[in-house]
Amino acid sequence: MTWRDEIVRRVRGEHLPDAPLAPRTAVRVGGPADLLCRPADADALAALLRAVRELGVPLSVLGGGANTLVADAGVRGVVLRLPQDFPGESTQGDTLVLSAGAPISRLPARAHARGLVGMEFLGGIPGTLGGAAAMNAGTRLGEMKDVVTRLELATADGAGFVPASALGYAYRTCRLPPGAVIARVEVRLRPGDVAASEALMREDRERRRATQPLDRPTFGSTFTNPPGEYAGRLVEAVGLKGHRVGNAVWSPVHANFVTNLGGATARDVLALVRLARARVKERFGIALETEVRLMGEFPPEELEGLDGHAAAGGGPSAASGGARPPEAT
Ligand SMILES: Cc1cc2nc3c(=O)[nH]c(=O)nc-3n(C[C@H](O)[C@H](O)[C@H](O)COP(=O)(O)OP(=O)(O)OC[C@H]3O[C@@H](n4cnc5c(N)ncnc54)[C@H](O)[C@@H]3O)c2cc1C
């Protein structure tokens, strides 16, 4: 029996071998996953985490794929996608517990229905709540760490709520324990003016439509903003706004966004990223760091010079060492 058969046997849920990942990411780039798994519920998630550990199979977590660049060669092992709903969502006073696989938009919708505000920064950010919690997603209006109180983390050893204060939250990052998958997200909001909150979110979405290339596949900001600077301004200053490699381009609308003109490869995208990084380093002495998360097997030359790049494979894959899974068990 292969490791794939074994996982399909042990884990209740949806399983898709050799699953194309490009359509499951916002930028629409990259190769297939050996096995895409969507466990049916929390017990099936636990069974999956135990199975990959026992079988020595690498595991990567994909949320909505809004901030992920998948390698052209795809992803070895299991790519996990959570269902939108886990049992156990709740609201108590100003505290909400929501499934990590739920779309981000569920949070403002539930909050507003209960007269709660404080998550206006999420207006217009695509993805899942788990991805937003893992990335500390946000804008100048705020970020996830302002509202997350606890995350329910699932590992091969069990699941439990961990306080946000233990997760090393910082600008566009948090430190999840190796192998941990966010199963549910607990946030605390505050009672307030729902109409004003809705208006702020609407304005933010309109601002995005005017300033971001939302008509093309993209993963949003490519680089994080260095302290006191804007990555987009730096990329523009080194003459790369509108620069094209293959079918990927530094957007003429927003120079920190790479867009896919149709049929772009990860190789095209990373060529743009390396070029911008090298030019900005040379001209300004600033080492730009990627905000986009890389997932899968990239040839070493594609990652050259990206010493600050976000670890390939997403959070949990590092736990299994990124090794090739054994084909037979
Ligand atoms: C047009 C556009 C605009 C954007 N604007 C913004 C913005 O204003 N601000 C901002 O912060 N971001 C922005 N983004 C980026 C993106 O929307 C956010 O980072 C979002 O939170 C990603 O969520 P996701 O579920 O799609 O994550 P994914 O891209 O699927 O994953 C991102 C990372 O989180 C990890 N992860 C996902 N789910 C889990 C989980 N359950 N447990 C453990 N790890 C997990 C993944 O392994 C990966 O490392 C934008 C993207 C686009 C395409």
DSSP string, 253-269: S-TTEEEE-SS--HHHH
Angstrom distance (rounded) from CA 68 to CA 268: 15
Grouping H, G, I as helix, E, B as strand and the rest as coil, residue 43 is helix
Q: Which numbered atom of ligand 1 lies nearest the CA of 134? A: 34
The packing angle between helices 3-10 and 42-55, to 10°, is 150
Question: Which pLDDT belongs to residue 307?
Answer: 62
The residue nearest atom 12 of ligand 1, judged by CA position, is 137
**SS percent in the chain: helix, strand, coil, step 5:** 30, 30, 40
What residue ranges in the chain does DSSP mark as E strands?
Answer: 13-20, 32-39, 59-61, 68-70, 75-80, 90-92, 95-99, 116-117, 138-139, 142-143, 148-155, 158-163, 181-188, 190-191, 218-221, 244-245, 248-250, 257-260, 293-295
Relative to beta strand 59-61, strand 75-80 is parallel
The Cα-based distances of 5 to 34, 41, 79, 153, 262 in angstroms read: 12, 19, 15, 26, 35
Angstrom distance (rounded) from CA 16 to CA 314: 19
- CA neighbours within 13 Å on the CB side: how many for 317? 26
Question: Which pLDDT belongs to residue 166?
Answer: 97
Question: Which pLDDT belongs to residue 328?
Answer: 30
Q: What is the whole-number distance in angstroms between the Cα of residue 38 and the centre of ligand 1?
A: 18
Residues known to be catalytic: 172, 221, 291
Contacts of 320 (CB under 8 A, 6+ apart): 52, 53, 56, 57, 58, 59, 77, 179
Question: Which pLDDT belongs to residue 318?
Answer: 34
Question: Which pLDDT belongs to residue 305?
Answer: 79
Please name each of the domains of the chain with its CATH number. 90-196 (3.30.465.10)
How does DSSP classify residue 300?
H
Grouping H, G, I as helix, E, B as strand and the rest as coil, residue 314 is helix
**Which residues form the pocket of ligand 1, taking CB atoms under 6 Å from any ligand atom?**
26, 61-68, 82, 100, 125-128, 130-132, 134-135, 137-139, 176, 181-182, 212, 214, 218-220, 293, 314-315
Q: What is the pLDDT along the chain (329 residues), one digit of tens a residue?
A: 899 999 999 999 999 999 999 999 999 999 999 999 999 999 999 999 999 999 999 999 999 999 999 999 999 999 999 999 988 899 999 999 999 999 999 999 999 999 999 999 999 999 999 999 999 999 999 999 999 999 999 999 999 999 999 999 999 999 999 889 999 999 999 999 999 999 999 999 999 999 999 999 999 999 999 999 999 999 999 999 999 999 999 999 999 999 999 999 999 999 999 999 999 999 999 999 999 999 999 999 999 877 655 544 433 333 333 323 333 32
Instruction: Give yes or no for a contact between 295 and 34, defined as CB atoms under 8 angstroms apart.
Output: no
Q: What is the whole-number distance in angstroms between the Cα of residue 233 and the centre of ligand 1?
A: 22
Q: Which numbered atom of ligand 1 lies nearest the CA of 181? A: 42
Please, what is the Cα angle at 152 between 148 and 154, to 5 degrees? 145
Q: What is the whole-number distance in angstroms between the Cα of residue 137 and the centre of ligand 1?
A: 7
Question: Which pLDDT belongs to residue 316?
Answer: 37
The residue nearest atom 46 of ligand 1, judged by CA position, is 314
Question: Which pLDDT belongs to residue 319?
Answer: 33
Question: Which pLDDT belongs to residue 88?
Answer: 86
DSSP string, 53-102: HHHT--EEE-SSSTTEEE-TT-EEEEEE---S--TT-EEETTEEEEETTS
Task: Identify the bridge partners of residue 293 per DSSP, sorted by sequence position.
Answer: 68, 310
Q: What is the whole-number distance in angstroms between the Cα of residue 74 and the centre of ligand 1?
A: 19
